[in-house]
Amino acid sequence: MRRNFTYTYSWIIIIAIAIFMNCALAHAAQSPQNDTSNYFPAKKKPKKGFLNLTFPPFHAGVQSTVKLSIPRTDDKLLSNVEVYPNPITDQINLKYLISRNSNVTIKLVDVLGNDVIPMFSQRVEPGERTFSYALPSKLNRGFYFIRVSAGTESVIKRISVL
């Protein structure tokens, strides 16, 4: 309780000091007039302090309908990996999304990390892909992992085999 109290009030004090410094520096930046003949000087624009706190205009109840689409260079190559049904009895169905051409490798891995079955390894075009694989009957019941690798990225999903 004491730590939260101290932490909260220390931030309030820091913000209050920042606002005070901003106002003090803005007031100090105004130079005194040397000419006393003009008692009513023209209005000058107030000078901003060093914090430059400006907020966008706020209109209550207005929602923007503009959707921003910012291209990102760090987009994931492999995304939206889904394995169904889980638990699996006889067939694995896999859905994934590839954003660029790349080599895709799908492997069934046991709990210790040993490759049990290499299911798929090919170059794949971009887009959403589905993959189905019939499980062999010699596969024991238990927990396994499906490792989907595309380029340098890898996604691992846990499955249970009945």
Domain spans in the chain, listed from the N-terminal domain onward: 1-29+49-54, 78-161
- The answer on pLDDT for 111 being more than 60 is yes
Domain 78-161 is found in CATH 2.60.40.3080 = yes
Reported pTM: 0.53
Pairwise pLDDT comparison (100 vs 48), residue with the higher score: 100
Reported confidence tier of residue 43, pLDDT bands at 50, 70, 90 = low
* pLDDT, position 45: 59
Percent of the chain scored above 90 by pLDDT? Answer: 31
CA torsion through residues 11, 16, 17, 23, sign: positive
CA separation for the pair 57, 48 (Å, rounded): 18
111-126 exposure pattern, b = at least 16 Cβ within 10 A, e = fewer: eeeeeebebeeeebee
Collapsed DSSP state (helix, strand, coil) of residue 133 = strand
